[in-house]
Amino acid sequence: MIPGGVNSSTRYIGEPYAFVAADGAYVTDADGRRYLDYHAAFGAILLGHNAPVVNEAVRAAMDGVDLTGIGVTEVEVALAERIVEIIPSAEQMIATMSGSEATAQAIRLARAVTDRDLIIKFQGGFHGWHDAVARNVISAPDKAYGRDPLSKGILDQAVDATLIAEFNDLDSVVELFDRYPDRIAAVILEPIPHNVGALVPTKDFAQGLRDVTTERGAILVFDEVITGFRHALGGYQEVLGIVPDITTFGKGMANGFPIGGVAGRRDLMEHFNGRTGDVLMAGTFNGNPVGCAAALATIDHLASNPDFYTRTHGFGERMRQGLADIVTELDIEATPAGFGGVFALYFCKAPVLGYRDLMRNNDTAYVAFHRGMTGRGFLMLPMSLKRNHVCGAHTSEEIDRTLEAARDVLKELRTT
Ligand code: PMP
């Protein structure tokens, strides 16, 4: 009935899991197995599954205006106001239904306002499934930096209009600007590329991107679909102290309910104005009350509970430190990485700054570790170079339990 049995190409990992319940930090499968969840729906779960504060807001929204297809509702305005208040780069915001829609619109906007055709993304960065960005995400070493579209069916012109640079290597970006003068519309990046674990940007690199895009008249797009709301209320841009021109959101923003968003400078965002602008932004379900109410409740909860960040960051740090201790104890070639509540364990030696370093990662060990953990009831992303997420519902005891299991799995891996 469903191709491959699942509703996304990236959900098929061996036999598909079938889940019947989700609650807090746990999900339960059809055989009654309970998993402590670090997958978190690729990061869409932020506070914990079925967070009462979000679900109650959604129930209330369902009794209000459902969908009109014309005009605006209170909850849409309230959400936009909230985003403008908390996100440093946001002077205006439009809600979409997903992260991919948000990045597609951001790129179209950048091309429109600059009247240029090319964009730069980074090897390993993922910004959704659409043609402008569906290349050079996770590559085998022989494909990295080459012509590596994610799918068949993408026009050659779309692939060729997306240039690939190396994360944490400003020269690789400047070189593309030099090679294609006045043609680069935008640089788009995950400020921490979590789609390859967690490459943390150096301050110089991030500032360099801000400077070079300004100097060369290109738009700087921070894709905060994973980092937004998760790493700080104002996104990772708040942590960096760098203001991009455009920011995209999705995933954790509404704690599992579908929504995305594009925000940015007023003069840019006004191009989306249906009356006076020149860039089409449409979507029947944009600003739907369920997504907006869920996002508003999630953000309000984060804003009134700053201990969410102390707690998830603390647990993330404990996980990284605990893994580092185990790696030392067992003498394994591995490097914990991450930021805040996100953690990954690369199977190679430090330093891991960019994708070139990741070429040294032992993919087989990476996948075996995650599968070993999942087999023990700790749900982790079972592909190479993926990250794991601590959510608001994890407890101290669960972190300890996870580390104990990690020690057992790594010990087994060492001997096989
Ligand atoms: N940007 C980033 C950084 C992502 O990780 C993802 C999804 N993995 C997307 C955009 C696309 O979001 P969606 O799946 O909601 O379309």
Per-residue pLDDT tens digits for 76-121: 999 999 999 999 999 999 999 999 999 999 999 999 999 999 999 9
Asked if residue 3 has pLDDT above 90, the reply is no
Are 230 and 198 contained in the same domain? yes
Are 325 and 341 contained in the same domain? yes
Cβ-Cβ contacts under 8 Å for 65 (sequence gap 6 or more) = 73, 289
Which among 256, 286, 304 is the end of a domain?
A: 304
Q: How confident is the model at residue 10 (pLDDT cuts 50, 70, 90)?
A: confident
Counting from 1 in the atom list of ligand 1, the atom nearest the Cα of 101 is 16
Asked if residue 16 has pLDDT above 80, the reply is no
pLDDT above 90 covers a percentage of the chain that reads: 93
Are 314 and 287 contained in the same domain? no
Asked if residue 23 has pLDDT above 70, the reply is yes
Per-residue pLDDT tens digits for 140-193: 888 999 999 999 999 999 999 999 999 999 999 999 999 999 999 999 999 999
Which among 253, 270, 304 is the end of a domain?
A: 304
Per-residue pLDDT tens digits for 236-249: 999 999 999 999 99
Are 242 and 263 contained in the same domain? yes
Are 264 and 348 contained in the same domain? no
DSSP annotation string for 31-64 = TS-EEEESSHHHHT-SS-BT-HHHHHHHHHHHTS
Which among 202, 135, 195 has a CA at the least distance from the CA of 351? 202
Asked if residue 259 has pLDDT above 90, the reply is yes
Nearest-CA residue for ligand 1 atom 7 is 128
Nearest-CA residue for ligand 1 atom 1 is 127
Q: How confident is the model at residue 15 (pLDDT cuts 50, 70, 90)?
A: low
Per-residue pLDDT tens digits for 183-220: 999 999 999 999 999 999 999 999 999 999 999 999 99
Enumerate residues lining ligand 1, CB below 6 A. Answer: 42, 98-100, 103, 126-128, 190, 195, 223, 225-226, 250, 260
Counting from 1 in the atom list of ligand 1, the atom nearest the Cα of 260 is 15
Are 274 and 401 contained in the same domain? no
CATH code at 358? 3.90.1150.10
Which among 289, 304, 319 is the end of a domain?
A: 304
**Interatomic CA distance for residues 350 and 383, integer angstroms:** 21
Average of per-residue pLDDT across 42-66 = 97
Are 57 and 47 contained in the same domain? no
Are 115 and 241 contained in the same domain? yes
Are 297 and 281 contained in the same domain? yes
CATH code at 102? 3.40.640.10
* Residue ranges making up the domain that contains 217: 52-304
Say how many Å lie between the CA of residue 99 and the centre of ligand 1.
5
Are 66 and 108 contained in the same domain? yes
Name the domain count of the chain.
Answer: 2
Nearest-CA residue for ligand 1 atom 12 is 99
Are 225 and 373 contained in the same domain? no
Say how many Å lie between the CA of residue 250 and the centre of ligand 1.
7
Mean pLDDT, the chain, rounded, equals: 96
Let me know: does 184 contact 218? Beta carbons within 8 Å.
yes
Per-residue pLDDT tens digits for 298-355: 999 999 999 999 999 999 999 999 999 999 999 999 999 999 999 999 999 999 999 9
The ipTM assigned to this model is: 0.99
Nearest-CA residue for ligand 1 atom 2 is 127
Which among 41, 35, 11, 42 has a CA at the least distance from the CA of 375? 35
Q: How confident is the model at residue 13 (pLDDT cuts 50, 70, 90)?
A: low
Are 161 and 194 contained in the same domain? yes
**Interatomic CA distance for residues 56 and 151, integer angstroms:** 39
